[in-house]
Chains A and B, each alone.
Chain A
Amino acid sequence: MKQSAAEILREYGPFPDIAQVHGLTFDGENVWFASGDKLNALDPETGKTVRSMDVAAHAGTAFDGQHLFQIAEDRIQKIDPKTGDVLTTIPAPGGGDSGLAWAEGTLWVGQYRDRKIHQIDPETGKILRTIESKRFVTGVTWVDGELWHGTWEGDESELMRIDPQTGEVLEKLDMPPGMGVSGLESDGGDQFFCGGGNSGKVRAVRRPRR
């Protein structure tokens, strides 16, 4: 297993009237982040929020190229990013749903204290398979066939790449003490966006080169 310190490239926020950043995703242009009762679009170039939509947003966020998916309470909402309308909802897999990612036509849901990642059917919410991680799972993301998730327990937080078959930890990026990762998304290139929980911040972290 490779282990190194996470390199923080940039910090965004805190933003006015936003106390916490839960899940986040990237639509190719803006970072969408959940802040409890709003989804907010952040332009990572300027660092300014450009839009916000009133929608319950308590944990993970994902983007399938067309729609936003957002966990609220015990369900996953499918949202039209143009109007902010909730189109459909499916049940979330379990009690402690945390991170959310889109990949291979399915949704991936992190369960925080259960240390699990479920792959679910985006139409029905049916669990297709479950990966056991060794650590608390916050944000989840797929990039170039790599499965990454955030973990946050007390003062310690890390980004970890795990084997999607066995759950074995392959690589670890240690966040600086006191900096937590509540949501995770790659920009498809060489950086991750991380939700900073109660710091109210969004951070960009360098993704290790292959």
Chain B
Amino acid sequence: MDSLITAAARALAAGDPLGALNRVALREDAPALALRGIAMAQLGDFDRAKILVRRAARAFSPKEAVARARCIVAEAEIALVSRDLGWRVKALDAARATLEAHGDHVNAAHARYLEIRRLLLIGRLDEAERFLAELDPTQVPPASTAAHELIVAGLAMRRLRTKEARAALARAERAALQARIPALKGEVESAFHLLNTPAARLIARGEERPLLLEDVEALQTSKAFVVDACRHVVRDANTFVSLARRPVLFALARALAEAWPADVPRATLIARAFRGKHADESHRARLRVEMGRLRAVLKKLAGVNATKQGFALTPRSAREVVVLARPVEEQHGAVLAFLTDGESWSSSALALALGASQRTVQRALDELSAAGKVQWFGRGRARRWMTPPMPGFTTTLLLPAPLPSD
């Protein structure tokens, strides 16, 4: 309907955001603002992109509900990619309903995928799975199909269902090829890479070996007594005990499991659990108390017996005791686990995802930064954190076209 807008939109679709910007650089009307915003997003300037699409959404008239809704979806996607997880979920859901009501099913589905990706990032897997089940990946364009299958794979990997993850990635690969978006193909490749990289370490009878995700999955169904240091749980074939909020008990359980079938000297246990250098009488008393607590929580899984010099573990039904640990152990593992997705995060988004205070996260980031394990860019509130590039789940921008005529 508008020559320059049509030309700019065509340039954008052909992967030429600079060409698009050239055509609408000086225009302040709603479609031009929307196109400029999407072009800026594709060029990686998310802050400016967000402001532009937000202005565009306001500049469209109330009659142009579809155009407005698409701008809101675009803003949500830009926020998601820049890991600003605090965006208005309600506004996105309202936009999705508007698109659905006006028959724009493709962008309505796109909006839903954004909601699901956010849930996935903040670890609300059940909700993500429920929403995902309502969507049909065959009813959307190939790019969205690829995104759908990547989410399925991501969920399956987090749920330790590796066969399902591989099948979903194979489907994602086919869809990405069809969509002809190199970045999407790259995402699938790095997801495959993740599946083929050791996901954990197994410590058993004093020896260590790396485990692929498949091996971790197999361990879930084995009869062994497992102390899982990735999730801070203890379990065997029948029983499951979470010690995520009881770090002292977990440290003790892990020390005992690593030494099994041997026992662990009291001094070692005190050092591991309380970080005390010298075991004095008060530490010994405290150790007795904590051991009593550990005995109580592990009652169904294993006995915790006093020996001459310390304590030893006696599993009830399991024949083997193993420890499952992160491939590389380091402090602030939880913070790193989020950053290793290869995207940039704000410290407030990390705090939201981790359920920790922003101050705690900031301290962890400062320490990791000093150790060279994370890097940052931007200043003040715009500061973003990321790990040096490594494979992981990234999020390609598949922004909706802002104009109902397109």
Contacts and interface: CB of A to CB of B under 8 A. Distances in A.
Interface residues of B, number: 26
Nearest to B32: A95
B208 interface: no
Contacts of B102: 155
Interface string B16-50: 00000001001101111000000000000000000
Interface string A132-156: 0000101000000000000011111
Interface in A33-90: 36-37, 56, 58-60, 71-74
Nearest to A56: B7
Contacts, number: 83
A59 B5 CA distance: 9
B65 A97 contact: no
Given A73-B23, A153-B64, A98 B405 contact: no
B369 interface: no
B65 A73 contact: no
A198 B406 contact: yes
Task: Summarize A's interface: helix, strand, loop or mixed.
Answer: loop
Interface in A1-54: 20, 22, 36-37
A10 B212 CA distance: 63
B63 interface: yes
Interface residues of A, number: 31
Nearest to A137: B1
B3 A97 contact: yes
Nearest to A76: B3
B2 A154 contact: no
A56 B10 CA distance: 11
B4 interface: yes
Contacts of B29: 95-96, 113
9 contacts: A59-B3, A72-B7, A74-B23, A92-B3, A96-B2, A136-B1, A155-B63, A155-B65, A197-B1
Interface of B: 1-7, 10, 23, 26-27, 29-32, 61, 63-67, 102-103, 404-406
Task: Pick the 8 closest A-B CB pairs, nearest first.
Answer: A59-B3, A154-B63, A58-B6, A154-B64, A58-B3, A96-B2, A112-B2, A73-B7
